[in-house]
Amino acid sequence: MQTKIIIDMAVTRLKRKDRRNKAVANNKVEAIKILKQRPIIKLVDIEAIKASFAK
């Protein structure tokens, strides 16, 4: 009587899924970096902007 232990499924690596997950994470980091580079507009004088369009 021989007993076989099959462990093939435990060794399987999901390389494609791993690459996709890393790409999604990198894209999110890049998007955050781009958003952080934009200046924050504070205390906007709406009346001054309207007056500049009237000219």
Question: If pLDDT is split at 50, 70 and 90, which confidence band does 46 have?
Answer: confident
Please state, in angstroms and rounded to a whole number, the distance separating the CA atoms of residues 30 and 1.
59
pTM metric for this prediction? 0.47
- pLDDT, one tens digit per residue, over 13-31 is 788 889 999 999 999 999 9
Residue 33 has pLDDT above 80, yes or no: yes
- The alpha carbon torsion through 42, 45, 46, 52 (nearest 10 deg) reads -120
Share of residues in the chain with pLDDT > 90 (%): 29
Q: Give residue 26's identity as a one-letter amino acid code.
A: N
